Structure formats: C-alpha cells, structure tokens
Amino acid sequence: MPLETSTSDVGPPIPGIIGSSPAMQRVYRRTRQVARSNASVLLLGETGTGKELIAKALHALSPRGSGPFVRVNCGALAENLLESELFGHVRGAFTGAVNNRTGRFEAAHTGTIFLDEVNSTTAKLQVKLLRVLQEHEFERVGDTQTIRVDTRVIAASNRDLMEEVEVERFREDLYYRLNVITVWLPPLRERREDIPLLARHFLRLYSEQNDCDVSRIDPEAMEALEAYDWPGNVRELQNYIERGVVLAEGEQLGVDLLPAAVRGEKPRRVGRFRGADVETLASELVQQGIEAAGPQGGNLQASVVNPVERELIAQVMAVCNNVQTKAAERLGINRNTLHKKLKEYGLEK
C-alpha cells in the first residue's frame, strides 16, 4: 500500500530529473521519503523511464550519500561472471582467476549497490542475493571466509516481478525482501505535460555538445512530440532530439526532422523496404509487431526485439568469420555479453 505523505513533503524536483507533472511529483515525494531509511527499494517501470536516476537520487539524499554508489547491470553478464562481479573471487577459483578480486557488494560497503535488471538473475544467484539481504554476509567465489557488509540494496526491473514469481522465474522470498518499498516510474505517455520540458532540455544539451545554434522547436514538431506514445520513453525522446539537432540546418528543429512514427505517418513500403533507412525499417517492424500482437498482446520484447537482435548477431558473426572478439567489437558489446547472447539464441555453433 502506498505510503501517505502531505503535499509539503513533495519538495522541489530532484536535481538531474526533469518533470513537474503530478505523476512525477508522486515520484519525488516517495523518493525523498524513503531516501532517509536503510530499507531495500524496488524501482519498477518500463525501459527508459529513468530508474537509474532515481537510484542515484535515493543514494545522494540518504545518510549514505558520502559513501560509494555501485551499479551492476545483472542482465549484461553470464551467471558465473555475474557471481564473481557481485561477490568477488579468490585466486584459482576458476580458469582465468589469476588474482583475488573484490566484488561489487564489498566495494559498496557503507554505501549503496544498484542491481539493475535484477529480474534476469538465475535461481542460484537469487539464493545468494537473499542471504546478503537477510544476513549482510557472503563468501567470495572459491573462498570459505565470510565477509560482512553494510550495503543498502536498490534493485530495478522493467518487468512485473510478481508475474515472474508466479511463473517461477523469480524467488518469492527474494521478491519480498527487495520489495520493502516500491517506487514506480511512470511511462512518458502518462506524463505528457513533461514532454516540452524534456524536449527543450535535450535541445539545449545537444546544441551545446554539437556546437550548434538550434534554439527552438517548431510548434508543429512539439505538437507531434506531445501526441506520440513513446514506447522507449525518455530515452527515445532524447535520441530523437539529438538526431534532430544534428540534422537541423537552421535555428529550428522542424517536424520534418522527426521520425515518421512520431509524425503519425506510416512508413512507405518500397519493395521490401529496399532503400529505406534503418530508422524507418525499425518503425515499420515495431508497428507490425504491435498490430500482430493485438490490443491484449504482451511480451513484445520477445516477439519484436529479440528476433532482430538474433539476426543482427548472426549476420555480424558471419561477416567476422565467427571470431567472437571481432564480432563483439563490431556490435559494440563486450565478449562476455556476446557469448551469453549466442547461447541464448542458439547461435553457438
């Protein structure tokens, strides 16, 4: 049940986070209220809603603010690597462990650890995470010495963890240990009044970064931005404004610089889209995926994004003669992440 607070508890917007909508005011109120405690916090919201910014704010506003803030993307590493990343290892614990290594929990002692995409952890790791939350202790991989830590845990997920519990992909006891307090980040489509503030902020930011003089957004373009549903949320808006600033030829970001989907247009079909740019192809693909799923269809990530990622990896591997190091560099990801995805998509051979 949400905690009740008075309007006076809202306070000014949190530094680094933009928005004054009622939805964001609730986020500010909850963030300021729970920052003072040592309780675990679970941040829920779609991709691109700013969960890491809230995690940083919770840390900065807490008594631990002078201590370390350590972020771990749990979805970016294979299980054995993530275990070592979180808890450290001793020399000889596994092939390649040539030295002792301090884990992220230990590095975050007296501070905060932020476990992003915690829903992607395996059952084995979830047992270890539960122990740290309950007992504040763990052992490094390959060691028997128990290490005690004073570390606050903030976790984030873009999936409904209760649903993950119901299908037995996430431990129920760990869910309740993480979910002492929940902060829900609203999608951008539910706080449309913040879109002009965000758009102008990114306009100034990228004009300065690119040494441009793009100082205003065309009213028609702003109207289109406010009407669009933003499946990628603030991150998607940020990317489109950056693109518009780079391509603008004058002082104004016009509606013609926005993607077809934002303008409310359906991409034109040219043969099998031959000659179309990647952005148009992506927009059409997403549109077709949403239409195919229907109004009640879910798990669009798996049905739309995953097949594209699989095909991209397969083709890059072929171009790189199946040399993983070269392919990882071409893709812009680390080799461990590539290896994990090759296994996940059945492309190891």
Angle ∠(271,275,278) on CA atoms, nearest 5:
110
Q: Give the model's confidence band at 9: pLDDT under 50 very low, under 70 low, under 90 confident, else very high.
A: very low
What pLDDT does 294 receive? 62
How far is it, in rounded angstroms, from Cα 289 to Cα 271? 19
317 exposed, middle or buried (CB, 10 Å; 0-12, 13-18, 19+)?
buried
For the range 34-39, what are the long-range contacts, defined as Cβ-Cβ under 8 Å and sequence gap of 24 or more? Answer: 34/3, 34/58, 34/181, 34/183, 35/59, 35/60, 35/61, 35/62, 36/61, 36/62, 36/63, 37/62, 37/181, 38/62, 38/64, 38/152, 39/180, 39/181
**Pick from 39-43, 146-150, 187-191, 303-307: least confident:** 303-307
More confident: 308 or 35: 35
Question: Mapped to the 3 state alphabet, what secondary structure does 163-189 carry?
Answer: HHHHCCCCCHHHHHHHCCEEEECCCHH
Q: Are strands 152-157 and 146-148 parallel, antiparallel or unpaired?
A: unpaired
pTM: 0.71
**Pick from 217-226, 231-240, 266-275: least confident:** 266-275
Encode pLDDT of 74-86 as tens digits: 988 888 789 889 9
What pLDDT does 4 receive? 33
**Do you know the residue count of the chain?**
349
Q: Hey, is 115 helix, strand or coil? A: strand
Angle ∠(193,194,197) on CA atoms, nearest 5:
120
What pLDDT does 323 receive? 82
What pLDDT does 322 receive? 79
Q: Are strands 146-148 and 137-139 parallel, antiparallel or unpaired?
A: antiparallel
What pLDDT does 223 receive? 96
- Please, what is the end-to-end C-alpha distance for the chain in angstroms? 49
How far is it, in rounded angstroms, from Cα 80 to Cα 104? 14
* Closest of 218, 308, 208, 294 to residue 254, by C-alpha: 218
Sequence-distant (≥ 6) Cβ neighbours of residue 251 within 8 angstroms: 213, 214, 215, 216
More confident: 345 or 349: 345
**Pick from 28-32, 104-108, 192-196, 262-266: least confident:** 262-266
The domains found in the chain, sorted by start residue, are 7-186 (3.40.50.300), 189-265 (1.10.8.60), 299-344 (1.10.10.60)
Per-chain mean pLDDT for the chain: 86
pLDDT at 211 over 50: yes
